[in-house]
Structure 1
Amino acid sequence: MSALQRWVDECHQCAGLFRLGRDVEAALTMVEVFEGAQQRLLSAGAQTQQVWAQLLTQMLECQERQDWLGLADFMEYELIQLLEDPSA
């Protein structure tokens, strides 16, 4: 399994935990997901890194508001799309 596929799988798993209301467990997984995403996007272009920074800000705002469904949506759709972007 490639590193990208592993991160995508972890995004799906983490989003599922947030949707089930298992926010503590999901938050621990989220840290690993964010570290992996950061690692993957480290060598990306400036525009991709800017999108990552904006997305990360939005996800952390969801976490602060305890908007678990919003956070799950960002992780499962926006973050995966960014990770799978060939220019990333």
Structure 2
Amino acid sequence: MTDVFVVQAQQCAALFRLGRDVEASLAMSELAGALQSAFDQAPPDNQQQWLQILGLMFHCQASQNWLALADYLEYELVQVITDSLSF
């Protein structure tokens, strides 16, 4: 399942980089919902990392900083997913 989350995060980042922010925002929302369910089963430290990156991503979204959001999705979030959900 981790691989699916990684691919979805990378695809979402690509959409933001292409300027398709509405489509990317919907995809990000779906991904965040699925990840929340997965992180609910993770240890508290991993949950904290998830919440931290989620907050940063939502801040970028609110300020419409699509490139920074794409970077968080493609690099930071992927790292948290692979470190925290690979069990």
Answer whether TM exceeds 0.5 for this pair: yes
Following superposition of structure 1 onto structure 2, how do residues 26-45 of structure 1 map, counting pairs within 5 Å? 26-45=24-43
State, as a whole percentage, how many aligned pairs show the same letter: 45
My pick for the range that moved more, 16-25 or 31-40, is 31-40
Residues 54-73 of structure 1: pairs in structure 2 closer than 5 A: 54-73=52-71
Structure 2 residue runs without a partner (length 5+):
none
Structure 2-normalised TM-score? 0.91
RMSD between aligned residues: 1.3
Residue of structure 2 equivalent to 1:47: 45
**Structure 1 residues not aligned, in runs of 5+:** none
Equivalent residue pairs, number: 86
Runs ≥4 residues deviating over 6 A: none
1:6 alignment partner, SS class: helix
How far the C-alpha of 1:41 sits from its partner, in A, is 1.1
State the TM-score, normalizing by the size of structure 1.
0.90
